[in-house]
Structure 1
Amino acid sequence: MGTHEDVVFAHDRDTGLQAIIAVHDTTLGPALGGCRVWPYENPGDALTDALRLSRGMTYKNALAGLDLGGGKAVIIADPRKDKTPELMEAFGRHVDRLSGTYITAEDVGVSPQDMEAVARQTAHVRGTSATGLGDPSPYTALGVFEGIKACAKHVFGSSDLEGRTVSVQGLGHVGYDVARQLHGAGARLIVSDIHAPAVLRAIDAFGAVAVDPAEAHMVEADIFVPCALGAGLNARTIPHIQARIVAGAANNQLQTPADGEALKKRGILYAPDYAINAGGVISIALASPGGEDTLVRQKTLAIGDTLTAIFERAGTEETTPEHVADAMAEERLAKTRKARPVLKAVSA
């Protein structure tokens, strides 16, 4: 997982809050990363998630060109049963104790209203009505769409998606919006989701064809767009992928590093997830009150250029795109550390 700067186990007796806040790296600035509410089976699973996700945020923020480090928080609770305003306020008090080292925001199981509750107890929060542009998912979707076009340009020689067949797995806020943009660009859509109403909505709006989510990677398509849960690219699924490109919004898509190598060996271009799905964190990090999003859109649209640079370097170095993305993030971190002044001890 790498070395983390801080890992805090937070408990509140009155609300029953059990949370873990992991600060991975603050080289570039305060650690920004969302808060996830999830009914983990045990604290060990929650810790593993917090460590993994916080490290991912360091790389995501670095590669997106943000002056922010990486962190993450997880609350061990069922978001449908256990989450209350009081619980989120208790979490906010623990965030505040870190004095700005960690900045929290929305993640799985957390709503904008929850963040408003957190903001009643700490100023170290983003994505609230006072600090941002609201729901970050449209910006995540915009970045993914731009990334898909960059992938198409690299593989097919053109970013034009007219007539391309695209399989979108997962039709939540981000996945549905990506599907909408793909439809607008003339792509033929194959869609899947465990939530039937979302699938029916896409069929009606986009003339999409539906398949079982477990088969989304198997269908004949030019591009596979995973927008559901992570670890979907693994030894079981990769041999059956028909698409030439895998580019989607899901986090932690590769189950193991070997899976990236397996995609490369099959001639499938993979867009590193934290590079292509950075639009949401960009919107959270750079938004200003009042709804002005020019800078946010500019940075999000640049995701396509970042991916193009990654693909070109991966070709030159004969390695995988995710290795290059990691290297680019690490190079930025190393350069920043090197530029820091060295504090010399003063003799008494």
Structure 2
Amino acid sequence: MSAIANMHVRGNGLGGGFAAYGIYPEYKDYYAFHLMFTGSNSDAKRSAKQDFDVFLCENFDVVYDEEIPHGDEATVSDPPLVWRYFVAPRKCGDETNLSDDDYVVMKVMHINTKIENAYVFSSGKNMGCFKGVGYPEEIGEYFMLDRLYKAYTWTVHGRFPTNTQAWWGGAHPFSLLDTTVVHNGEISSYGTNRWYLEMYGYACTLQTDTEVIAYAADLLMRRQKLPIELVAKILAPPIWNCIDRMNERERRLFTALRMVYAPLLMNGPFSIIIGQTGKMIGLTDRIRLRPLTAATRGSMFYLSSEEASIRLISPKLDSVWTPNGGEPVVGKLNNMT
């Protein structure tokens, strides 16, 4: 939390959040659903939870559930009821043809579009997101992250919303299964990206452009099994005059990518950090209109908008560099035990 607190002035207190990997080893084989239930009062929030619980028990086996531990509600703005469930899919009929992950995605989309005031904001295994309205260090303290959890990968974000409202679901990270995204920038192609993703069953309900990046990563990397090197060239493709100067093999490849995946081009300035099980990926737009710094120290790998936040927690670094625009930088964990 000290690293993100060092970048306090990058946000305005209208959104902060964390993603943590490896925090539920005792339930590592189950999907960890983090839910927020909103409403004008506690009765409305409890009513939303009751509606959700009925749906959940019809579609999943619930191993354990509890309210996510938190501090004094007076320290944050209008907190929802936040609950976690550890579940296993209960498929029937044609649903048995789906993979567990596809089943979970389908149900998450149903919940977020059909059950009023209930939102799944984290749904992976052995990981979880914690987010809300406030500065990230305030959200971290509210959920007592430094006292309750140990993780092998952390990502964190401080929000400065420019054209969307501040609400708990709109804070970063955005998550689907084990993929999480934190994002600095503005995606002007949101409408086109959203319409394309809707054709594949993704419903954007959380009122911000970053949501499409999380769903695009899930579609391309999990469902279509594309390597991150190609995914980067879909989200931040080289411009046409660069493609024209490539050798024939590369020119045909990148022309095909731009034609097939044109609606997934992320137009506008951005730098993103994608978290996945055992992996962390950094990517910027092709001309680096938003900053991203990478660094290593021993076996530790860091990504940040500012070098200062990295050096605050690791003053003596082995290497520090600025990734090229549109080129992914990837850190992989060899051992997650």
TM-score range, shorter chain: under 0.3
**TM-score, normalised with respect to structure 1:** 0.24
